[in-house]
Amino acid sequence: MISLHTSPLDQPGTGDAGGMNVYVIELAKRLAARGVEIDIFTRATSSALEPVVSAYDGVQVRHIHAGPFEGLAKDELPGQLCVFAREVLRAEAGQPVGHYDAVHSHYWLSGQVGALARDRWGVPLVHSMHTMAKVKNDALAEGDCPEPTARIIGEEQVVEAADMLIANTDIEAKQLINLYDAEPSRVEVVHPGVDLDVFRPRDKAAARAELGLPVDASVLMFAGRIQPLKAPDVLLRAVAVMLERRPELRSRLVVPIVGGPSGSGLEHPESLAQLATELRLDGPDGVVRFVPPVAQDELARWCAAATLVAVPSYNESFGLVAVEAQATGTPVVAAAVGGLTTVVRDGRSGLLVDGHEPRAWADALSRVVEDDGLRVRLEAGALEQARSFSWDRTAERTLEVYERARADLKAPV
């Protein structure tokens, strides 16, 4: 596997680490349990990192030195593709001939390296986009920057080179076909999963006690990277509307923002805190709590403690946080975009909101907070919905895609 721009060992929720990191390591772990040996190549971001780290039995993470360890933005990484690719090829050259049977690249930068390795080693390339520039540019958040033309061209090249493309949802598959001219026969839909041993129902009162939350609070939670794409500001603006309508809610509302700045959010890392101040949501009688990124087991505790989890993103290829929240029995209020329309069953496991207008979001959030009968039904539906997503099933389907790619290996382009 190639995950150039972010390591599967990084803490999700900050920098460039997010759902893709979870995806890569969870998939690798499940494949290894089926007897597949996995080497994950990623760019080293510290001189203290060991060249090779054993993450799990059968899963090794190889840190490649390509460019400075720190201070290299994602849009500067294309300049390091050549040296990264050279080091990947050099690592393979030290192995017996035919050591690798397939390459699975994640995100377009990795796909560029994967295409070279594919042709050099004579093995199939399977690629997962995770996000696509054309889709992101069609639904930009206010103040966010469009993805550059170089990325769009790079993605088109990877789509052409790959033997098989894995899409997270039917919607993503259609986007690959309609926006990138992918051959329909080379696109397979494989849903990501959720670790049901980690993300599971817990006693809500106990979870709140462990986190220092009032047992009788209405907890409206956001979890993820703090950047315009993820739209945590929409949640804050909606909460301000709720308090404008019903000031008495202030005494029992708690709004945890779990995560750190990322992407274009790094340009103004303080902007969300400033917005909370402007909306009078912080301070001694404030409702917002900023929580640094947390490990998966701690995130599961936060999800279980929440009344609902809000996912107001402008685009999500899947929306892993939404599945994780539902697996704890917590309903999700999500934007009706991308993979979230697959992950969340509107009216059954959560509510889908068209657009990002704060008053519409306040309406949806208020319904879950104020309607006890609805909330109880959504909690039961959330658990049922989450059971349909399994990393074991993801691994089985991915192995089938690998075998198809090996059987239908294209001639080098």
Query: Where do the DSSP E strands lie in 339-382?
Result: 350-353
Q: Annotated binding residues for UDP-N-acetyl-alpha-D-glucosamine, as ranges? A: 11-12, 19, 225, 230, 294, 316, 324
Are residues 212 and 316 in contact, defined by beta-carbon separation less than 8 angstroms? no
Q: What is the pLDDT of residues 74-130, one digit of tens each?
A: 788 898 999 999 999 999 999 998 999 999 999 999 999 999 999 999 999 999 999
Calculate the average pLDDT of the chain. 93
Q: Annotated binding residues, as ranges? A: 5, 11-12, 16-21, 74, 107, 131, 151, 225, 230, 294, 306, 316, 324, 330
Q: Annotated binding residues for 1D-myo-inositol 3-phosphate, as ranges? A: 5, 16-21, 74, 107, 131, 151
Among residues 269, 309, 313, 258, the alpha carbon closest in space to that of 136 is found at 313
Among residues 374, 365, 372, 385, the alpha carbon closest in space to that of 324 is found at 385
Q: What is the pLDDT of residues 232-290, one digit of tens each?
A: 999 999 999 999 999 999 999 999 999 987 554 444 458 899 999 999 999 888 999 99
What per-residue confidence (pLDDT) applies to 264? 45
Among residues 180, 271, 261, the alpha carbon closest in space to that of 233 is found at 271
The mean pLDDT value for 208-221 works out to 97
Mention every residue, 6+ apart, whose C-beta is less than 8 A from residue 139.
Answer: 314, 315, 337
Q: What is the pLDDT of residues 173-183, one digit of tens each?
A: 999 999 999 99
For residue 354, pLDDT over 80 is answered with yes
Alpha-carbon dihedral angle through residues 250, 256, 261, 263, given to the nearest 10 degrees: -90
Q: Provide the token pair at 268.
A: 């103004």
Q: Annotated binding residues for Mg(2+), as ranges? A: 306, 330
For residue 227, pLDDT over 60 is answered with yes
Annotate 141-167 with three-state secondary structure: CCCCCCCCHHHHHHHHHHHHHCCEEEE
* More reliable by pLDDT, 144 or 314: 314
pTM of the model: 0.91
Are residues 324 and 303 in contact, defined by beta-carbon separation less than 8 angstroms? yes
Taking the alpha carbons at both ends of the chain, their separation in whole angstroms is 21
Burial of 247 (0-12, 13-18, 19+ CB in 10 A): exposed
Q: Provide the token pair at 210.
A: 């462990």
